[in-house]
Amino acid sequence: MDALISEIREHGHAISGHYAGRDALVLTTRGARSGLLRSNPVAFTRDGERFIVSATNDGADTHPAWYRNLIADPRVTVEVDRRRIAGVARIATGTERERLWQRHIANHPGLADYPNQTTRQIPVVVLEALDRLDPAAD
């Protein structure tokens, strides 16, 4: 995982392994229990200026640690295209979730079967840059 994170940081995308040729970013969250910063490679889909990721955890019945972290603290850092962006995460729901999930699996077809492998609904997460948020909405 460290090599993949280094590739994304250095080249702006993955150049080897199962992420090669896929849209991938480095998502940094603060550990819910430890308080330490944790970085993970995550497949993403663009939705305008936002990034869409899904907490598939390879179809496991538990959420990935990074998802539990952003539930505890939605402030994140996104590294993509050799840029580092401070952002905030929120969980998509309802029709927005379905629209974004369909778009995400169209971009990453390998994720499409994960809902059939788990008893949980896979969360779809919207990552938005803090500088693009309306401060009046806070």
| Calpha distance 138→119 (Å, rounded) | 34
Distance of CA 27 to the CA centre of its chain: 6
Tell me the pLDDT tens digit for each residue of 21-54: 889 999 999 999 999 999 999 999 999 999 999 9
Low-confidence ranges of the chain (pLDDT < 50): 134-138
Rg (CA), the chain: 14
| Calpha distance 85→79 (Å, rounded) | 6
Tokens for 7, please give them.
Answer: 């590739």
Looking at residue 138, its pLDDT comes to 40
Looking at residue 51, its pLDDT comes to 97
Three-state secondary structure of 97-137: HHHHHHHHHHHCHHHCCHHHHCCCCCCEEEEEEHHHCCHHH
Asked whether the whole model's pTM tops 0.85, one would answer yes
Q: Which CATH number fits domain 2-132: 1.10.10.10, 1.20.910.10, 3.30.70.20, 2.30.110.10?
A: 2.30.110.10
Distances (CA, A) of 28 to 12, 17, 66, 98: 15, 21, 8, 25
Looking at residue 132, its pLDDT comes to 59
